[in-house]
Structure 1
Amino acid sequence: MGFEQEALDELIEHMRGRGAAMQERLTHSTKGEPLVLHELAVHGTRTPSQLAAAADTTSGRISAVLASLEKKGFITRTTDPNDRRVTLVNMTDAGRAADQRNFEVLCSTVCWVFSQMGEEHTRQLVDRMNEFATYLSLCGPDGARP
């Protein structure tokens, strides 16, 4: 096994283990609400099915998230005037403010992590991530490589 496969295995293990635990800690109390708010902020009006797909969750879970967001006044649900079978989800001004707060908390958290890593390691991380993204962008969705 070459270093490439070892690195891939380690990365996958990290994402399944510590990465998944980190994600769980960040979203546990909100059960996906920040992701749904951000999806609405970026894409505007969405259907519950579109939000479930974006959040990679079930329709039942997205229904619970939407009910919670609606109760908080962050979203509204209306019937599509062109197709009464379709529900449309829109963000309210309070939802936009909550999305902005979520973004500020995320930025603050990441900046704290960078402060713990130090400038040199942070810059190395950013450089390596940029390099990784550049190489990845050269590969096709079918696995084709230059």
Structure 2
Amino acid sequence: MGYEQDAVTALLDCMKNSRSQMQREMVRGSHGEPFVLHDLLRRGTLTPSQVAEALNATSGRVSTLLASMEKKGLITRDVDPDDRRMVRVSLTDAGREQARRGIDEMRSAMGWIFSQMGERRTREFVDLVEEFVTYMSICCPGRPRPTPEEVRAAFERRDRSAG
């Protein structure tokens, strides 16, 4: 087995078997209220179907989640005055505050981790993650691997969006 497969195995093992408390919180958050709060904060008012698409969840799951969030005073669900068949989901002030608090807490925790790693290793880590994510953006399981031209174009897009 080459270094590539060793790296894949190590990364998958790390992601699957060595879950830290922070990773568990991030995964838990990606399936529920914290994710919806953050998405609404970032994107603004959404429809329940847009929330379902972002969560990759069924409409029934999203309906239950939104009802719970509405009961807690985090969101409102209002009928669109221009199209009474459409429902709009919006953050309340309490929802906006909880979303910001969650983001601030995550940033603080990650900042502490980076302070432990030091500046040089943190910058190297961020550069490697950016490179890895760029490759991931063009390489899909079950599809042909990207051509050198597609790779070059992906990195040019990344550099343009960063600059």
Shift of 1:133: 3.7
Q: Which residue of 1 aligns with 2:105?
A: 105
Please list the CA deviations of residues 93-141 of structure 1 after superposition, one character each: whole Å capped at 9, or x if unmatched: 222222111110010111122233344432331232233345456x466
For 1:8-23, list aligned pairs within 5 A: 8-19=8-19, 22-23=22-23
Identity level (%): 48
Residue aligning to 2:157: none
More off after superposition, 99-108 vs 48-57? 48-57
Alpha-carbon separation, structure 2, partners of 1:69 and 1:125: 36
1:1-146 correspondence runs (5 A)? 1-19=1-19, 22-26=22-26, 28=28, 32-136=32-136, 139=138, 143-146=145-148
Task: State the 1:25 CA deviation.
Answer: 3.2
Change beyond 3 A, Cα 1:58–1:105: same
Cα shift at 1:30: 9.8
Q: Using a 3 Å threshold, how does the CA distance of structure 1 residues 37 and 25 change in structure 2: closer, same or farther?
A: closer
How many angstroms apart in 2 are the aligned matches of 1:30 and 1:3? 31
Quick one: distance in 2 between partners of 1:22 and 1:84?
Answer: 41
Rounded Cα–Cα distance in structure 1 between residues aligned with 2:56 and 2:13: 20
Distance 1:140 1:14, change over 3 A: closer
Matched AA of 1:13: D
Write the distance in 1 (CA, Å) between the matches of 2:14 and 2:28.
Answer: 19
Amino acid of the residue matched to residue 16 of structure 1?
K
| 1:11 CA displacement | 1.9
**How far does the alpha carbon of each residue in 1:56-89 deviate from its partner, in whole angstroms, 9 at most, with x for none?**
2333332232122212222110123344333211
Q: Contact 1:80/1:88 (CA < 8 Å) preserved in 2?
A: yes
Count the aligned residue pairs: 145
RMSD of aligned C-alpha atoms? Answer: 2.9
Could you tell me which residue of structure 1 aligns to residue 160 of structure 2?
A: none
Give the CA deviation at 1:54. 0.9
CA contact (8 A) 1:31 1:65 kept: no
- Which blocks of at least 5 consecutive residues in structure 2 are unaligned? 149-163
TM-score (norm 1): 0.77
Separation in 2, partners of 1:140, 1:116: 32
Relative to 1, partners in 2 of residues 1:135 and 1:7: Cα closer, same or farther, differing over 3 Å? same
Summarize the Cα distance change of 1:22–1:7 in structure 2 as closer, same or farther, 3 Å threshold: same
In 2, are the aligned partners of 1:75 and 1:92 still within 8 Å (CA)? yes
CA contact (8 A) 2:31 2:55 kept: no
Give the counterpart letter for 1:116 in structure 2: Q
